[in-house]
Amino acid sequence: MEVEVLAGLSFGSAWMLAWGVAATIPLILHLLHRRRQHTVRWAAMHLLMRVLEKESRRIRLEQWLMLLLRMAILAVLAVAVARPSWLAADGRTFGTSRPPVLWILAIDGSYSMQQSVSQGGTVFTAALAAVEDLINRAPEGDAFTVLMLSQPSRAVVGEPTFDRTSVLAQVEQLRPLDHGADMASAMAIMQRVIEEAEQRSYLPRQVRIMIYSDMGEDTWQPVVGGAGNTAWRRLTQEAQVSVVPIVPDDRPNYGVADLRLSTLRPTVGQSLDVDVVVENFSALPKQGLPVQLQVDERSVASRRIDLSPLGRANVHFELPMKSPGHLVVSAIVGDDSLPADNDRYVSIEVESVRRVLIVERQSASGRLLQLGLDPQPEPESRWRIQRQTVVEVQTEQWSNWDVVVLDDGVLLNEALHQRLYEFVRRGGSLVAMFGPHTDPESWNRLEQQRSLLGFQLLGPGEERDWQIDPLDYRSPVVSPFAGYPLAGLITTPLFRLWRIDRRPDVVVDVGTNYDAPLVVHRRLGRGAILSWLSAPQAGADDRGEVWNAIAAWPSFVPLLQQSVQALMDLGVASLNGTVGEPLEGGAVDSSAPTVRLITPAGGEHLLTMASSPSGEGHWRFEETDWHGIYRAHYPDGTTIPYSVNLHVDQSRQRRVAPEELPQSAAADDAREHETMAAGQVGVQPALARWLLFVLAGLLVAESLLGATVGRRLQ
Amino acid sequence: MSNLPKYYDPETLARIQPLALRARMLVEGVMAGLHHSSLRGQSIEFAQHREYVAGDDLRQVDWKVFAKSDRFYVKQYEDETNLICFPLVDISESMDFRGDNAPLTKLEYAQLIACAIAFVVTSQQDSSGLITFDHRVRTWLPPSSGTDIMDDLVRVFETTVAEGPTDLNNSLLEVLQGLRRSSLLVLVTDGLSGDEQWIEALKMVRLAGHDLIVIQVLDQDEITFPFDMRTRFVGLEGTPTVETDPALIAAAYRRAMAEELQRLERACSQAGADYFRATTNQSLAVFLPNLLATRLVRGKRR
């Protein structure tokens, strides 16, 4: 509340003037003291009158002086705490130049802020310096909140505070993350702070928001023309918003935009296709940029490329897999002004051989499937396929197999269903074929007891010419067909399939034109189950039913092989994520209490394993704020590397001009505004400060007078 | 000696009514004090020899002189010069003051002093009278060496009311005009008249051939000024009433009082008068022996 009392004289906290009433306390005490007296008959009156005559003038003077000093002390104190200001005729302001302000200081923490600047340091450190400068120069009485624009944005100092020392300590510890920056969540935090401040009478009424950013388009586009526009306008109505652009000069910046591997679960001896997409994010050409391929942080290949301004280059490597185990393949380009985007990682699991067990409905009924998986068996084949009937597998050790394929019509008993369930949970892959020989009641009963497939079989769909829908080839099951419409996928003959009622966690890989899925998968524990709802046939079965002619079509072999490959890759896909996404893992033995997770920066986190209803241990790590390799160490000695990469959108240095911001946020005069906000007070001593000096002088005078009078009284 | 303090203690004396009993108690104390201190006789100074005449006390014959000269001579002592003593007691209104912590008013204290003096004087075969005054002489008891003088003193004091203003100068002049013989005047007053002329009158007393002792009786509060809250001082003897914060002037008052007392003491010294100061809470056991030892028992100073 700012109140102008006289022309030019105003008070930041006029209600504090009420304390001025306290100035009358000495006067009241004085008068009360005068009223209390007692009477004495006095003999030595001549002497007393002589003394009084001699001393009365001095006493009266001292009394009034003391009274005035004490009243003045209280009055000056009341005026000082009321934050006075005086606007002189020439426009100069004396005293506190403005009422106190609640500052909401937002620092762009996206990884593009890590770009180095020619003056030394980074854009982020320059932003921090500006924030610290503002805090240091802000007058007493200002409150602060600090937040960092991130994905999502987070409050650093969420509760407004007047304690600038602690605010500075928090700001000093800030580090940019490898995220982007989400303005929507930042504006939500700002709005919350404003609303809460309105309800707290002790906080300043005036709110000013300062945003320090490199104005990356990725951050600001939602404000300029997207969903954040409305929130921004509301914010600018409720507070004075200023954007301080800290834009680095155009310096070389290259990055690994993508790192693609032909599979995440290759076998030993298999040659992995590795494609590295390198992008030049700057407008400066680059020749001879080294691109290095590493496996487990050891360089295995390198190449030099030329990049045109803002151009991209695809670098292909072939990476032979020599030994089994978990590996991290990474691509790295040379150092530049923004190191964060110079590397990219992919976690893979190399197997010695792919072991597949086909469980047949009856002897030899699975031959088609075996042929589809390994059409030309060779001694050095990476497939090791075996067929067994249901009776034979009763005693089978499931741990000997990577993939189990259930032929159409296999009837499982409860014990076998239980064993398959455990097999998948422990990381196995299960392919289930459903066709004319399937007994839906048996499956549905088992599914009700223990959900393995993730759906109930409703019944065979009507017989018609179904057409396969590849669903934009998003699924790895059909992704190799992308760009090859004549490869036979879409024209695959399909006449009938099972209709299902699926759980939400069941994902459709291949659909049909009648919105009924053909291939679905579901993750369970460390493994996954992929179901074909129309088992491949080469013609009419032994009962004369024809559901499809998939096995006779050219798409059969790649489709079946991709199904198994995609299924196996699913178990490794969870090892690869992006910054901000949680890492998750599990252990079959939930009795293992903790997992030790080592972050790329070397930080160590002990994660407690939560037990799922199925008894499986499960852990989750949310703070993937930096890209790189996170290694999970299990109590049994197993170490699984997780690769976390950043979105390179922030590296593409498209920026939003401050003028483009709606209701322009005072972006142009941000620096001037900042200077005005903090600097004026720093240069001119506040009137309140002068008043405090006066107060100190009055206190000293009162003490001296009191001591003098006291001495005389003794 | 163990019983002496009770005779002199103002607290004890204040509890005794009427004045006759109070005076008797004091007198007993004085007698006991004289007996025990063997002052009697020792203070009678030898003056000269004279030839024996019939009727003289044979105990007074100086046998040593007889042995040398074969003639009878008797010793003649100073006390035989028949001292006449007048206690001059101030009975003005200011003498009626008694502080919160004092057992007696200044007048009551002065009356006891006067009784004690009269007793000592008469017990030495001398004569004592009494003069009371305020702005003028109010009572004049002629001197007598008999014991009935004590009864006269008590009678006078019991009918005395302190109510008039003080005029020491006028009273002293009046006393001087009334005295026929050289006398020992013991002025018992608080000396707070505010009139400085009486100090000049002290010199007149000496010039007139009288001996003078000034005993200033004050209340302890008049010296220490112990008040700490705002006080309304009602003036006695027609002085005005004033209100003030005593704490602010206490130090100045005490300094002024000290100066006043020193000035009076100095004036007495210059006038050839002995000066004594007594406060009403002070035990007479301290004050009286000093007074008696220094002046009264030695008789009149030449």
Contact with chain B for residue A37, Cβ under 8 A: yes
Q: How confident is the model at residue A274 (pLDDT cuts 50, 70, 90)?
A: very high
Tokens, residue B147 = 């014991």
- Residue A255: predicted pLDDT: 92
Q: Is the pLDDT of residue B80 over 70?
A: no
Say whether B229 and A38 touch across the interface (CB within 8 A).
Answer: yes
Q: How confident is the model at residue B302 (pLDDT cuts 50, 70, 90)?
A: very low
CA-CA distance, A680 to A674, in Å (whole number)?
10
Give chain B's length: 302
The shortest CB-CB distance from B192 to any of A44, A56, A63 is to A44
CATH number of A256-347: 2.60.40.10
Residue A256: how many other CB atoms lie within 10 Å = 24
How many residue pairs from chains A and B have C-beta atoms closer than 8 A?
97
Closest CA in chain A for residue B247? A713
> From the CA of B199, how many Å to the nearest CA of chain A?
16
CATH number of A580-643: 2.60.40
Instruction: Give the residue extent of every domain in chain A.
Output: 3-94+688-713, 98-250+653-667, 256-347, 354-573, 580-643
B91, B193, B216, B242: best to mutate for the A interface, most A CBs within 10 A: B242
Instruction: Summarize the confidence of residues A374-389 as an average pLDDT.
Output: 83
CA-CA distance, B24 to A197, in Å (whole number)?
91
Q: Is the pLDDT of residue A94 over 60?
A: no
Q: Is the pLDDT of residue A20 over 60?
A: yes
**∠ Cα B74 B78 B84 (to 5°):** 135
- Rounded to 5 degrees, φ, ψ at A34 are -70, -30
Q: Is the pLDDT of residue A97 over 80?
A: no
- Residue A206: predicted pLDDT: 85
Closest CA to A340 of A649, A654, A656, A655: A649
A679 or B15: whose pLDDT is higher?
Answer: B15
Tokens, residue A443 = 């499956």
Say whether B236 and A34 touch across the interface (CB within 8 A).
Answer: no
Task: Kindly state the helix (H) or strand (E) to which residue A222 belongs, with its residue range.
Answer: helix A217-225
Distances (CA, A) of B157 to B14, B27, B160: 15, 16, 5
SS3 for A149?
Answer: strand
- The DSSP secondary-structure symbol of B288 reads H
Residue ranges of chain B that CATH labels 3.40.50.410: 4-39+82-298
Say whether A43 and B190 touch across the interface (CB within 8 A).
Answer: yes
pLDDT tens per residue across span A176-187: 888 888 888 999
- Residue A504: predicted pLDDT: 92
CB A506 within 8 Å of CB A432 = no
- Residue A672: predicted pLDDT: 46
pLDDT tens per residue across span B209-263: 888 899 999 999 999 988 878 888 988 888 888 888 888 888 889 999 999 899 8
Q: Is the pLDDT of residue A44 over 90?
A: no
Instruction: Summarize the confidence of residues A488-500 as an average pLDDT.
Output: 90
Quote the mean pLDDT of chain B.
Answer: 79
Least confident of A192-206, A539-553, B78-92: B78-92
CA-CA distance, A113 to A177, in Å (whole number)?
9
Query: Which homologous superfamily does the CATH classification assign to the domain defined by A98-250+653-667?
Result: von Willebrand factor, type A domain (3.40.50.410)
CA-CA distance, A62 to A709, in Å (whole number)?
8
CB A359 within 8 Å of CB A393 = yes
> From the CA of B220, how many Å to the nearest CA of chain A?
12
B93, B253, B257, B262: best to mutate for the A interface, most A CBs within 10 A: B253
Query: Which homologous superfamily does the CATH classification assign to the domain defined by B4-39+82-298?
Result: von Willebrand factor, type A domain (3.40.50.410)
Instruction: Summarize the confidence of residues A491-509 as an average pLDDT.
Output: 93
The residues near A673 (Cβ < 8 Å, ≥ 6 apart) are A240, A242, A666
Q: Is the pLDDT of residue B108 over 80?
A: yes
B216, B239, B260: best to mutate for the A interface, most A CBs within 10 A: B239
- Residue A144: predicted pLDDT: 93
Percent of chain A having pLDDT more than 90? Answer: 32
By CB atoms closer than 10 A (0-12, 13-18, 19+), residue A438 is buried
Residues of chain A found within 8 Å of residue B240, distances taken between Cβ atoms? 45, 49
Q: What share of chain B is helix, strand, coil (3-state, %, to 5)?
A: 45, 20, 30
pLDDT tens per residue across span B174-214: 999 888 888 889 999 998 776 777 777 888 888 888 888 99
Residues of chain B found within 8 Å of residue A49, distances taken between Cβ atoms? 239-240, 242
> From the CA of B246, how many Å to the nearest CA of chain A?
10
- Rounded to 5 degrees, φ, ψ at A286 are -140, 130
B167, B244, B248: best to mutate for the A interface, most A CBs within 10 A: B248
Closest CA in chain B for residue A62? B248
- Residue A521: predicted pLDDT: 94
CB A235 within 8 Å of CB A190 = yes
pLDDT tens per residue across span B131-148: 999 989 999 999 888 778
Tokens, residue A581 = 């996404």
The CB-side HSE value for A242 (13 A sphere, CA atoms) comes to: 20
B174 or A542: whose pLDDT is higher?
Answer: B174
Instruction: Summarize the confidence of residues A341-345 as an average pLDDT.
Output: 93
Q: How confident is the model at residue A613 (pLDDT cuts 50, 70, 90)?
A: low
Residues of chain B found within 8 Å of residue A53, distances taken between Cβ atoms? none
**∠ Cα A98 A104 A106 (to 5°):** 135
Residue with tokens 């400068």: A133
- Residue A369: predicted pLDDT: 92
Least confident of A64-73, A523-532, A671-680, A703-712: A671-680
Closest CA to A344 of A294, A288, A280: A294
Beta bridge pairs of residue A406: A359, A432
Residues in B whose CB is inside 8 Å of some CB of A read 94-97, 106, 190, 192-194, 219, 222, 227, 229-237, 239-240, 242-245, 247-253, 256-257, 260
SS3 for A302?
Answer: strand
Closest CA in chain B for residue A51? B253
Closest CA in chain B for residue A40? B233
SS3 for A226?
Answer: coil
ipTM: 0.76
> From the CA of B183, how many Å to the nearest CA of chain A?
30
Q: How confident is the model at residue A530 (pLDDT cuts 50, 70, 90)?
A: very high
Quote the mean pLDDT of chain A.
Answer: 84
By CB atoms closer than 10 A (0-12, 13-18, 19+), residue A275 is middle
Least confident of A255-269, A633-647, B110-124, B192-206: B192-206
The residues near A464 (Cβ < 8 Å, ≥ 6 apart) are A495, A496, A514
A380 or A491: whose pLDDT is higher?
Answer: A491
Contact with chain B for residue A44, Cβ under 8 A: yes
- Residue B43: predicted pLDDT: 42
Say whether B247 and A713 touch across the interface (CB within 8 A).
Answer: yes
Q: How confident is the model at residue A512 (pLDDT cuts 50, 70, 90)?
A: very high
Least confident of A6-15, A393-402, B84-93: A6-15
pLDDT tens per residue across span A394-443: 887 887 888 999 999 998 888 889 889 988 887 889 999 999 999 999 99
Residues of chain A found within 8 Å of residue B231, distances taken between Cβ atoms? 37-40
CATH T-level assignment (fold) for domain A354-573: Rossmann fold (3.40.50)
pLDDT tens per residue across span B30-78: 665 554 333 333 344 566 777 787 767 777 788 888 888 888 888 766 5
Instruction: Summarize the confidence of residues A133-141 as an average pLDDT.
Output: 86
Q: Is the pLDDT of residue B88 over 90?
A: yes
Say whether A42 and B249 touch across the interface (CB within 8 A).
Answer: no
The shortest CB-CB distance from B256 to any of A41, A43, A51 is to A51
Euclidean distance between the first and final Cα of chain A, in Å?
50
The answer to whether A256-347 and A580-643 have equal CATH topology is yes
> From the CA of A707, how many Å to the nearest CA of chain B?
13
Q: Is the pLDDT of residue A223 over 60?
A: yes
Residue with tokens 């906000």: A677
Contact with chain B for residue A712, Cβ under 8 A: yes
